[in-house]
Structure 1
Amino acid sequence: MMSMRLWNAFASRRTGNMSRNRTPGLGKSGWSVIRARMSSRDLFCAILSIKSWALENPYTAARFVDYIPPMSLSLRLRRLAANRSIVQTLCTSVEAEKSDDGADLPWKRPYLTKESDPLNHSTSDLSFLYQIPSTEYKALLSHGLPRSYRTEVENFGQAGLLIRRPAMKIIKKLQDTKNEVHRFLINGPDGCGKSLTLAHVMHFGFKAGWLIVHLPSALQLVHSSKPVRHSYHNPTQYDQPDESVTWLKTFRTMNSHLLNDMTTCSKYTWGKKDVTHVGDPLGSVIDQGIQKPVHATDAVGVLLKEVALQDNRPILFAVDDFNGFFGLCSVRDPDGNKIAVENLRVRGHFLRALKAMKCGSAVMALSRSGMLNEKKLGFSPGALLRKEGLAAITPHVNVRVDGYNEDEIISMINYYASKNWLTGGYTKEKLEEIAFLTQKNPIALRKLCDPY
């Protein structure tokens, strides 16, 4: 096995000189050190792996042309290959290592399910990945998922999502009790896939025709560096015009196919001239906030109020980093003073809508990433939400997300291998080593496998 990461480490013993426009090579003395530490069998396996890797990744191999060993090493390999008995013994040894008893090659095992519609997912699809259509990914999930996952989707050219038990638990409950209001709290250790679990549930709601009210990150809202202004309604509270406009645009993109059928239930006055009458399309409230940012925060409040009062269409209230609403705030007023988190009006709008919701369910995920005091807190709901946060979502159902199980990590290694993030054969021992190094943590596995 010779992945790009291993090849870089192998070629990092640089003892040669650096030219002006070329990548530094090892130099003859560097290769001498390596040759002295390698047996004939190890040398044969290394060159065989490098050749295999270069054939599978010609474009990437061309970038590392300066790492090709000098002629002396090639001559040694030729002399080694001249003895057919040695070559036959070495090849047999290499093949035996690749096919140990009980050590299946992972990419020969299926890792994708044929069912791409989350409405049809069942327990038989657990530990398999499914592909999200590009149009649905762009409309629904490209705005608020973790940056590492968005980068992965860009590199692979497709969005693959692992079907895991926590998401299926929530989806099953939503299917069985569609007309009841439920609150789910997704929690667990850092980097274990809480945001992607939320994304799977959102995709289900999107396909089921639910209205999606998604806040990508409450922590980003309370740590925003964008300017704020005093509210006209209450001078002690603050509007966030830029953040509000961004959220309104995202909401319209996610729910554009549903907004034409939804109308307002009350009359609203915007300043001295603009008025939204009873029965006007709900999209007019969004347009008012986008076209006039001074009214954007009010438009968010009106929109959430109208959505929460809807009783003819289920609502999926999805908030990531939900604990950000109950922690420290780093937003500053025009005078440069820090603002208390309870004085942000957008936060108040979301919490009131959460309590007033009549039809649908709320799914909230916790996260310590981006918190100012994350090192001092555990990842339990009580530590992150405190009494105020727990009271705001009572009653609720805790849904814990942990690291991958054995089937899930093998599926992910299959997936990465199919995208050339991993190359070469994997024995059972090597898979166990990867699981040990990453502790079956999704983020750690992605970082270990990422060649870039």
Structure 2
Amino acid sequence: MLKSTADFLIRFNSLRAIPCRLLSAATVSMSDQKLHSFRTQETDPLKHNSNHSSQFYTIPEQDKKVLFLHGGLPLSYEVQAKTFNELCVMVREPIIEIFDNLKHINYNKPAVRFVLYGKKGTGKSLSLAHALHYAYREKFLIVHVPWVGNWMRRSKDSSNSEITEGHIDLNIDAAAWLLHFKTQNAVLLQNPNLKISQDIVWTKRETTPKDSSLKELIEHGLNRIRFASRCVTILAQEIKRLSCEGHCKTFVAIDGFNAFFYPNTRVYNEKKEMVSPDKITITEGFLNLTKFDWTNSVIVVTVDEIAIAEVDQTSHYPRYLLGKKGFEHLDPFIPIEVKNFNEKEHHSIMNYYKERKWIQPYPGQDEELYFLSGANPYNLMNLCKSL
């Protein structure tokens, strides 16, 4: 009898252990599933919608090299992407709203303008990067300025304009931008219809003849840097004409657009006098491209407090940051606010950091960091960065 009872207990315990092991495995599986739910396998931004909200998608390496080789990502995020060995961007509601609008725009009407705004560190530049990827996949001709503040406060050189008296050329910066434009649009620039409409006389001996390709115009600005600023303004005029004639569809994306209207710069003329943005040659080209007087185009800009040098700022809203002149230049536009993380977005970024082994999890960590960061994406990234 004792032997029989012992056999029964052994059998009972062995049978009971089976569902326990299964339960343990199921728990691990559910944990992994929860951890990886922050990712979406949909890497094509043309297919992103509200169902992908708060999830990360990976920008393919080949697209990254085309779009962001010469700038376009915040430096801290670029360093993080290099550390994680992948470029992941969160799909957020503000950019989904823009995508929904782009799919219903009548491109035969005047250009529609979107203004991304929000507090410091909420993710405006990354939202613009997501929009750029959309434009690239949709085969837009991309006109992208990674950060206007670099020209106004950290220009690489300056010289008097040879064409317009009292204006200043930033030729090295202009040449760098032309290379950026050429890289982003390498495929589209092969289109034989993208030609200039007039003879361009640079000097008595240098002329770019009518019907030369846009690529030839760009190459001239790169090879003869003294003409790079003028080349940018001419390129802007030609792009507008080509879009209106239906030869291309243009996507203008400018980060820190309000810097074009902030009077204080660090650009000086030969008399050591500060030059306002409207006296800088390349400003003309990009203000021309952000008007609504052309078709087959869409314009997305950001306004940001850190794009200008003012220390005490009272608002992050477009009317304040653009000033009267800048606001009137863009009006009418569609304002899109980029806010701090909601709880779902916060848990998503925390799960991403955990998956990348960037942080060591502990009980109550998500709630604590949500409170300490104020739900601000940039603050959270700083709290989680390496020592």
Query: Could you say which TM-score interval applies, normalised by the shorter chain?
Result: 0.7 to 0.9
Corresponding residue for residue 37 of structure 2: 110
Corresponding residue for residue 449 of structure 1: 384
Letter in 1 for 2:273: N
Letter in 2 for 1:120: K
Tell me, what secondary structure is at the counterpart of 2:268?
Answer: coil
1:53-80 C-alpha deviation (Å, 9 max, x unpaired): xxxxxxxxxxxxxxxxxxxxxxxxxxxx
Matches within 5 A, 1:227-306: 227-261=157-191, 262-306=194-238
Contact 1:329 1:340 in 2 (8 A): yes
Matches within 5 A, 1:67-106: none
Contact 1:317 1:361 in 2 (8 A): yes
Letter in 2 for 1:443: Y
Contact 2:38 2:352 in 1 (8 A): yes
Distance 1:377 1:141 in 2: 32
Contact 2:155 2:173 in 1 (8 A): no
Contact 1:377 1:384 in 2 (8 A): no
* Structure 1 residue 173 corresponds to structure 2 residue 173: no
Tell me, what secondary structure is at the counterpart of 2:299?
Answer: strand
Corresponding residue for residue 380 of structure 1: 317
- What is the TM-score of this pair, normalised by structure 2? 0.86
Distance 2:209 2:233 in 1: 16
In the TM superposition, what is the alpha-carbon distance from 1:415 to its structure 2 partner?
0.8
Distance 1:230 1:301 in 2: 16
Contact 2:157 2:173 in 1 (8 A): no
* Structure 1 residue 423 corresponds to structure 2 residue 355: no
- What is the TM-score of this pair, normalised by structure 1? 0.74
* Structure 1 residue 338 corresponds to structure 2 residue 274: yes
Give the counterpart of 1:406 among 343, 347, 350. 343
Tell me, what secondary structure is at the counterpart of 1:317?
Answer: strand
Letter in 1 for 2:279: N
Give the counterpart of 1:211 among 125, 128, 141. 141
Distance 1:183 1:448 in 2: 35
Which one has the largest radius of gyration?
Answer: 1
Distance 1:130 1:301 in 2: 36
Contact 1:228 1:334 in 2 (8 A): no
In the TM superposition, what is the alpha-carbon distance from 1:334 to its structure 2 partner?
3.1
Contact 1:218 1:321 in 2 (8 A): yes
1:284-314 C-alpha deviation (Å, 9 max, x unpaired): 1101111001111111011111111123221
In the TM superposition, what is the alpha-carbon distance from 1:106 to its structure 2 partner?
9.1
Letter in 2 for 1:123: S
Distance 2:35 2:130 in 1: 26
- Gaps spanning 5+ residues in structure 1: where? 1-98
Letter in 2 for 1:134: E
Tell me, what secondary structure is at the counterpart of 1:395?
Answer: coil
Give the counterpart of 1:128 among 30, 55, 65. 55
1:119-147 C-alpha deviation (Å, 9 max, x unpaired): 11111111100000011112102412111
Give the counterpart of 2:370 among 424, 435, 440. 435
Between 1:416-425 and 1:440-449, the stretch displaced more is: 416-425
In the TM superposition, what is the alpha-carbon distance from 1:178 to its structure 2 partner?
5.2
In the TM superposition, what is the alpha-carbon distance from 1:224 to its structure 2 partner?
2.5
Between 1:336-345 and 1:349-358, the stretch displaced more is: 349-358
Distance 1:320 1:423 in 2: 34
Distance 2:304 2:255 in 1: 8
1:336-360 C-alpha deviation (Å, 9 max, x unpaired): 2211222111111110122243221
Distance 1:204 1:263 in 2: 25
Contact 1:188 1:400 in 2 (8 A): yes
The count of aligned residue pairs is 349
Q: Percent identity?
A: 27
Tell me, what secondary structure is at the counterpart of 1:189?
Answer: coil
* Structure 1 residue 353 corresponds to structure 2 residue 289: yes
In the TM superposition, what is the alpha-carbon distance from 1:171 to its structure 2 partner?
1.0
Matches within 5 A, 1:131-146: 131-142=58-69, 143-146=71-74
In the TM superposition, what is the alpha-carbon distance from 1:227 to its structure 2 partner?
2.1
Give the counterpart of 2:327 among 390, 404, 413. 390
Cα–Cα, structure 1 residues 159 and 150, in superposed 2: closer, same or farther, change >3 Å? Answer: same
Corresponding residue for residue 9 of structure 2: none
Contact 1:107 1:417 in 2 (8 A): no
- Runs of 4+ aligned structure 1 residues displaced above 4 Å come to 104-107
- Gaps spanning 5+ residues in structure 2: where? 1-26
Distance 2:206 2:155 in 1: 30
Distance 1:189 1:406 in 2: 18
Distance 2:53 2:257 in 1: 27
Letter in 2 for 1:152: Q
Tell me, what secondary structure is at the counterpart of 2:312?
Answer: helix
Matches within 5 A, 1:152-171: 152-171=80-99
Corresponding residue for residue 4 of structure 2: none
Tell me, what secondary structure is at the counterpart of 2:251?
Answer: strand
Distance 1:292 1:148 in 2: 33
